[in-house]
Structure 1
Amino acid sequence: MTEAALFEAFGGVRGLVETTVPGLVFIAMFTVNKDLHTAAITALVISGVMVVVRLLRRDTVKHAFSGIFGVGFGVLFAMMTGNAKDFYLPGMLYTLGLALGYIVTSLAGVPLLGLVLGPVFKENLSWRKRNPGRKKAYTKASYAWGFILLGKSAVLFPLYFWGETTQFGWVTVVLKIPPFLLAVYLTWIFLAKAPPPINVIAEMEAEEEAAKAEKAAAKAATAEAGTPGRHRR
């Protein structure tokens, strides 16, 4: 598994762009004209355009849809309160919840990253009992994600409550990409040193093929045994 392949599993460059650009556009427009409504609607439209482009190209829309839902909630919060900072509040709450999720599931022995990446690497949950080295790697990586996102939250929430709006917005945008890249890199480091995944999908397919072959052989044997005089002259 290469670092690039792992990066793509988390959405790749396009996924990162689709989750970053709307927030960047929002704070850029708000910085210029201080018009909350214009900035919010523009960010929502841009996010919607990204989804449409994905649909037209018949690409996976998971990250684009997650982006537009996040922007939609941000627009709703900001419009309801009249506070531009609230555009970023849903994303901040999600980040904090995700950080706690990574840490709690790691403590529970079921690291969240393993649950997310297991199906991607066709190992499903085999790492839990059949591949302890891989479980250890997923646990370390989940802790890394948890503490990185927790650190990000520790920076943003004080700025949300006490910082100036445009300053807070730009810091939020700046902290979008570096923590993500750091977490992906550490995940790659941990998984690169771990045993390879057990391809349970291939195992299931092999078992199905073996069962079909056994059934066909049994059917052929039954047919041969039931044919009278087959070996007589």
Structure 2
Amino acid sequence: MGAAATAGLGIVALRLIRQEPLRQALAGLVGLTVAVLFAAASGEARGFFLPGILVDAAYGLAFAGSALVGYPLVGMIYGLLYRRSDWRADARLRRLFVLATFGWSAVFAVRAGLQAFLSRVDLPGLLAVGKLLLGWPLTLAAVRRASRPRPAAIPAP
């Protein structure tokens, strides 16, 4: 817990010294504080990872639920980012956004499921490695897979 707190405070100090924005560093410090409090309350190292597991599980459920009710979060995010609301009128785009939303739901479910398993069997070392490998590497793999060009469909004769 001390090493985590020291690292978090070090990042905030580094940002201060460089006169960089503190918003992300402070948000990270808040998340780190919550994780440290979970670990302290449980008295076990694996408690540190519980908030992240719960957040990933909640994201997975939120993404899947949004797709199931017809308002896929990927489409909603697309609409907000590109200021477009017409995507819902296009059946092809709606299907694409539903599939992409289920894909993201699967990414979050894999993260939460594997970390929950490693926590349950009390392997905090593997849990830490899993947290790292299931973070950005899994996200980048999902984005790369989703952005890969698809071969054009061959029209029926």
TM-score when normalising by structure 2: 0.78
Q: Does 1:68 align with 2:32?
A: no
Q: 2:57 aligns with which of 96, 119, 143?
A: 96
Deviation at 1:97, TM superposition (A): 0.7
CA contact (8 A) 2:15 2:21 kept: no
Structure with bigger gyration radius: 1
**2:48 partner letter:** F
CA contact (8 A) 1:106 1:142 kept: yes
Q: 1:153 aligns with which of 109, 112, 117?
A: 112
- Structure 1: gaps spanning 5 or more residues: 1-36, 194-233
- Structure 2: gaps spanning 5 or more residues: 153-157
Deviation at 1:91, TM superposition (A): 1.0
Give the corresponding residue for 1:40.
4
CA deviation string 1:102-137 (max 9, x = no partner): 1111011100112223211222x33223x3332222
**1:170 partner letter:** V
Q: 1:154 to 1:65 in 2, by over 3 A?
A: same
Q: Does 1:127 align with 2:87?
A: yes
Count matched residues.
150
Query: How large is the Cα RMSD of the aligned pairs?
Result: 2.7
Q: 1:173 to 1:69 in 2, by over 3 A?
A: same
**1:68 partner letter:** L
Q: Does 1:166 align with 2:130?
A: no
Deviation at 1:182, TM superposition (A): 2.1
CA contact (8 A) 2:56 2:112 kept: yes
Give the corresponding residue for 1:144.
103
CA distance in 2, matches of 1:53, 1:122: 37
CA distance in 2, matches of 1:112, 1:188: 17
